[in-house]
Each structure stands twice: as structure tokens, then as C-alpha cells.
């Protein structure tokens, strides 16, 4: 069952990449406040020209756009990794339909995130300036849906991982299991 090792490795890469992206998204805004708290001499002049709030809004906008690019890139990589993983399970393993369905659902979630949510996850000026607006509510609603889908994808991945580790598949009609090989010195592989 070497395919299980490869399959769990591929799944681990996928889930590990998701953890890395979550960490990047959480930590990426921290340097903005750190830089504003203790800027260098040249940076302090530029911050003074923009004002503290203006500089914070500009830096947070840049960070949000960079994060969006990271997520778009990661989603494309998930399509490649997930598709390869799907075809590996389909043609290179004896996993059943349930495992393939879990993997397809994970890929469907990536498609919804990539085509439906990520292009619309831009940081509106109302969030940067603190003014309430419809854009503000729309952003947080999309952000919440994105996180919920990410958690669902993780849950499906963990169920798939548990299935790969603990479940012993048996495909009925597997031709290789129907052979009963006899190996004798005077006969070459005779099937009964």
C-alpha cells in the first residue's frame, strides 16, 4: 500500500500550504503598525507628509493587495496539486468513490474561492478610514464566507486523511485480486 504514503504526503502538502497561507494572512498586517510605531528617519518624513492615518491606510491597502495576490497564486497551485492528487487516487490507487468525492468537494471549494470570492476581496477605503459603508459590510461578509469555506475544506481534508490512514479499501472486480498465482520450479506462473 505504498500509494497511501504518497496520497497522505500530497494531502499533507495541501493542508500544510493552507496553514502557511493562514499564517501569512494573519501576520502580514503586523509590520504596518510596527513601522508606524518606530519609523526610520526618511520614513518618518514621508509618514508626516501623509499623516499617521493616511500612511496606515496606504500601507494596509498594499498589504491587503499583496495578500490577495498570495491567495490567488495559492488557489491556482491548489488546482494543480488537487487535480494531480485526484488523478493519482483515481488511476494509481484502490481508493473508493467516497475518497474521490471528498477530494472533488475540496477542489470545488477552491473553485468557489478562486472565481467567486478572491477577486472581490479587495480592502475598501471605508475599512481603511474607519467610515461605515456598504462596502465595509460586504467585505466582512465575503471574508467570513471565505474563512468558512476554508474551514470546510480543512474538515474534508482531515476526513480524507483519516480515511487514507485507517480505512482499508477493497474494490470489487479488481482483476489483480482474482489471480491465485502458483510459482513452482518446473512451471512458470500458473493461474488456477
Half-sphere exposure of 141 (CA within 13 A, CB side): 8
**The pLDDT of residue 47:** 86
**Distance between CA 6 and CA 110 in Å, rounded?**
22
Q: Can you tell me which residue has the cell 493542508? A: 15
In whole angstroms, how far apart are CA 131 and each of 75, 80, 128, 135, 144? 31, 40, 8, 10, 20
**How many structural domains comprise the chain?**
1
pLDDT range class, residue 152, cuts 50, 70, 90: very high
pLDDT at 140 over 90: no
Grid cell in block for residue 81: 496539486
Domain span at 136: 2-191
Q: Which residue has the higher pLDDT, 63 or 175?
A: 63
pLDDT range class, residue 109, cuts 50, 70, 90: very high
**Distance between CA 62 and CA 183 in Å, rounded?**
69
Q: Which residue has the higher pLDDT, 173 or 40?
A: 40
Report the DSSP beta bridge partners of residue 184: 187
Dihedral angle sign, alpha carbons of residues 19, 20, 24, 25: negative
In whole angstroms, how far apart are CA 55 and each of 31, 125, 132, 179? 13, 13, 20, 73
Residue pair 99/157 in contact by the 8 Å Cβ criterion: no
Grid cell in block for residue 70: 498570495
**Distance between CA 33 and CA 150 in Å, rounded?**
27
pLDDT range class, residue 173, cuts 50, 70, 90: very low
The region of weakest confidence among 23-32, 100-109, 146-155 is 23-32
Amino acid at each position: 500500500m505504498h500509494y497511501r504514503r504518497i496520497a497522505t504526503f500530497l494531502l499533507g502538502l495541501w493542508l500544510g500550504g493552507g496553514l502557511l497561507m493562514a499564517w501569512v494572512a494573519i501576520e502580514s498586517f503586523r509590520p504596518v503598525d510596527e513601522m508606524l510605531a518606530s519609523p526610520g528617519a526618511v520614513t518618518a518624513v514621508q509618514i508626516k507628509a501623509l499623516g499617521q492615518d493616511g500612511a496606515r491606510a496606504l500601507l494596509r491597502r498594499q498589504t491587503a493587495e499583496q495578500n490577495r495576490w498570495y491567495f490567488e497564486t495559492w488557489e491556482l497551485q491548489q488546482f494543480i496539486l488537487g487535480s494531480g492528487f485526484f488523478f493519482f487516487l483515481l488511476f494509481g490507487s484502490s481508493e473508493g468513490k467516497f475518497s474521490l468525492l471528498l477530494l472533488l468537494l475540496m477542489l470545488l471549494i477552491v473553485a468557489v474561492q478562486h472565481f467567486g470570492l478572491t477577486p472581490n476581496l479587495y480592502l475598501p477605503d471605508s475599512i481603511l478610514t474607519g467610515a461605515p459603508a456598504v462596502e465595509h459590510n460586504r467585505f466582512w461578509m465575503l471574508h467570513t464566507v471565505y474563512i468558512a469555506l476554508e474551514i470546510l475544506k480543512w474538515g474534508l481534508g482531515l476526513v480524507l486523511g483519516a480515511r487514507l490512514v485507517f480505512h482499508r479499501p477493497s474494490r470489487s472486480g479488481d482483476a489483480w485480486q482474482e489471480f491465485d498465482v502458483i510459482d513452482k520450479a518446473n512451471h512458470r506462473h500458473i493461474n488456477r
